[in-house]
Amino acid sequence: MLNIGGLNEGVVIDHIQAGGAMKIYEYLNLEKLDVSVAIIKNARSNKMGKKDIIKIEGPFNLDLTVLGVLDHKITVNVIKDNEIVKKQQLELPERVTGIIKCKNPRCITSIEQELPHTFKLTDRENRIYRCIYCESKFKGK
């Protein structure tokens, strides 16, 4: 069994759908942070069969609640002094900016590059977001 050392301080993003860790790494721009990041792909999981995990060491300031858009089964564990001090189930935010991109080539965000890609939740049950400019649909997992 693979064993990755514990964290003294940081965050563990757990229960990521297998194969989804790199997408989350990119969305969070983790390559730009000066922190250690461990990505564990296809870890065994009793609940999920296989899952991905991301461990981020050190203090950093990121809004991880937006990850609920990408995968609502993700849990975020905040670690301080080798202990989990907060375990957070993610929910669907009402509005997200800069996480998902509008795929409609006619959308104003395709022409006006500086405009932020903003989506609003229009169907919670089916996890559907729509672009606030052109109404194009994005369906979360």
CA distance linking residue 96 with residue 69, whole number of Å: 8
Average confidence score pLDDT of the chain: 87
Burial class (CB in 10 A: 0-12, 13-18, 19+), 74: buried
Q: Does 65 share its domain with 48?
A: yes
Under the banding of pLDDT at 50, 70 and 90, the label for residue 104 is: very high
Q: Does 20 share its domain with 61?
A: yes
Which domain, by its residues, includes 119?
95-139
Residue 122 in any domain: the answer is yes
Residue 4 in any domain: the answer is no
- How many domains does the chain contain in total? 2
Q: Does 50 share its domain with 81?
A: yes
Residue 103 in any domain: the answer is yes
Q: Does 47 share its domain with 114?
A: no
pLDDT tens-digit readout, 24-52 = 898 888 888 888 899 999 999 888 899 99
Q: Does 115 share its domain with 84?
A: no
Q: What percent of the chain has pLDDT over 70?
A: 95
Say how many C-beta atoms besides its own lie within 10 A of residue 65's C-beta: 14
CA distance linking residue 86 with residue 123, whole number of Å: 29
Residue type, 116: P
Residue 2 in any domain: the answer is no
Q: Does 69 share its domain with 99?
A: no
Query: Which of 89, 105, 121 marks a domain boundary?
Result: 89
pLDDT reported for residue 91: 83
pLDDT reported for residue 3: 52
User: Residue 82's domain is classified under what CATH number?
Assistant: 3.30.70.140
Q: Does 23 share its domain with 78?
A: yes
pLDDT tens-digit readout, 65-89 = 778 888 878 999 998 888 889 998 8
Alpha carbons within 13 angstroms on the beta-carbon side of residue 71 total 20
pLDDT reported for residue 93: 87
Under the banding of pLDDT at 50, 70 and 90, the label for residue 1 is: very low
Under the banding of pLDDT at 50, 70 and 90, the label for residue 4 is: low
Residue 27 in any domain: the answer is yes
Q: Which residue has the higher pLDDT, 14 or 66?
A: 14
Q: What is the mean pLDDT of residues 77-105?
A: 88
pLDDT reported for residue 132: 97
